[in-house]
Amino acid sequence: MAINQNQAVKYNHKHLLGIQYLSIPEINLILDESLAFVELNRQENKKLKILNGKTQINLFFETSTRTLSSFELAGKRLGADVMNMNVLNSAIKKGETLIDTAMTLNAMHPDILVIRHQDSGAANLLSQKVNCSVINAGDGRNEHPTQALLDAMTIKMKKKKIEGLRVAICGDIMHSRVARSNIYLLNMLGAEVRVIGPTTLMPKNINLFGVKVFNDMEKGLEGCDIIMMLRMQTERMDGSYIPSTREYYEFFGLDYKKIKNAKEDALIMHPGPMNRGIEIDTSLADDINRSIIVQQVEMGVAVRMACLKILMENKV
């Protein structure tokens, strides 16, 4: 994973809106850059001056703990001035539109806007209206590119490769932006991607996205190197998709019995926050031999630092 200096790979976008817009070299560039920050983040002095004088605004329309703090830390460690906009209690609740808010913030001349929004396409819309770079920190069910990048980084750190691995993404595929971004990214990097879940939580034509679809978890997990569990996104559901969480856990909750179908060294990931006892057995989630959920959080900061740095360096 060493940086190949001969390859003059450039990141050719002003924004980071989704994995679907990236090329394989661009993804590898971000992952390579991230590696240096992993090392840095483990040192005592974590502060750099790369983004000195830059302003980063985190505009979060949905509640978030780990993504927001991860972006905040990433910006601060690079030396940027970081502001978190808590939108839940602001003018937007009073009827201001996304565009109006964007124009207001734009007038303050930020260099980078990190947005999370409940509607798919919100980051795309914002990027058309502001002058600065926009990072999508999750829009509706569409994409969550930095999550997919940090997942890839975590897999690479643990398995030393991605190509040829069999990865199962399990659970509420329909409502998951994490699933979509990961499907794009893992396919591009040569993994074999499977999606596992009840048919009611599978979006239409998902088989056309280069994945194998399984409705039987034990079959789906066969030979898997990586098991990505997804959270049941009850807040995005408008009605009943499954009979009960108890029944869901019985058939789609990851436990020590079901995981036996996967490879012996299969690792478990979860974008968080977890619903213990619904999608994953609580002791399995904490099993240090199996679960790399904590490493995902660690990689998150490094990957986001890399994204911020690349966007600020590559003014397109």
Partner 1 sequence: MFKNFNGKQSMKKQCITNVRIIDPKNSLDEIGGILINEQGKIEAIGKKVSELNASDATIYNCPKKIAIPGIIDMRVFVGEPGFEYKENFRTLSQAAISGGVTAAITMPNTNPVVDNVSTLDFIKRRSRDKSIIKIFPLASLTKNTNGEDMTEFGLLKLRGAWGFTDGLHCVQNNKVMDKILNYAKNKDALIVQFPQDNELSKNGVIHEGFLSTKLGLKGIPDIAEQIIIERDLRLLEQYNGRYHISLLSSKKSLEIIKSARARGLKFTVGVSINNLSLNDNDIGDFRTFLKLSPPLRSEDDRIALIEAVEDGTIDVIVSDHKPEDEESKRLTFQQAATGASGIETLLALSLELVHNEKCTLNTIIKSLTSNPAEILGLRNGTLSVGSEADIAIFDLQKPWVLNKENIKSKSKNTAIEKRKLQGKVEKTFINGKLVFSE
Residues that bind partner 1 (CB under 8 A): 20, 97-99, 117, 119-122, 124-125, 139-143, 177, 180, 203-206, 208-209, 238-239
What is the smallest separation between the CB atom of 61 and partner 1, expressed in angstroms? 10
Residue 47 has a CB neighbour count (10 Å cut-off) of: 10
Rounded Cα distance between 112 and 119, Å, is 20
**Closer to partner 1 at the Cβ: 232 or 302?**
232
Q: What b/e sequence results for 73-88 when a residue is b if at least 16 CB atoms lie within 10 Å of its CB, and e otherwise?
A: bbbbbbebebebbebe
**Closer to partner 1 at the Cβ: 6 or 205?**
205
What is the smallest separation between the CB atom of 97 and partner 1, expressed in angstroms? 6
What is the smallest separation between the CB atom of 12 and partner 1, expressed in angstroms? 17
**Closer to partner 1 at the Cβ: 47 or 212?**
212
Residue 10 has a CB neighbour count (10 Å cut-off) of: 12
Rounded Cα distance between 126 and 176, Å, is 21
Amino acid at the residue 184 = Y
Backbone angles phi, psi at 92, to 5 degrees: -65, -35
Rounded Cα distance between 289 and 303, Å, is 24
DSSP category for residue 207: G
**Closer to partner 1 at the Cβ: 53 or 239?**
239
**Closer to partner 1 at the Cβ: 121 or 277?**
121
**Closer to partner 1 at the Cβ: 39 or 238?**
238
What is the smallest separation between the CB atom of 205 and partner 1, expressed in angstroms? 4
**Closer to partner 1 at the Cβ: 188 or 266?**
188
* 3 state DSSP class of 60: strand
Q: How many degrees, rounded to 5, is the angle at CA 167 between CA 29 and CA 62?
A: 70
Rounded Cα distance between 241 and 234, Å, is 9
Residues 6+ apart with CB under 8 A from 86: 60
How far lies 208's CA from each of 16, 180, 199, 205, in Å? 24, 12, 15, 6
What is the smallest separation between the CB atom of 203 and partner 1, expressed in angstroms? 4
What is the smallest separation between the CB atom of 175 and partner 1, expressed in angstroms? 9
What is the smallest separation between the CB atom of 101 and partner 1, expressed in angstroms? 12
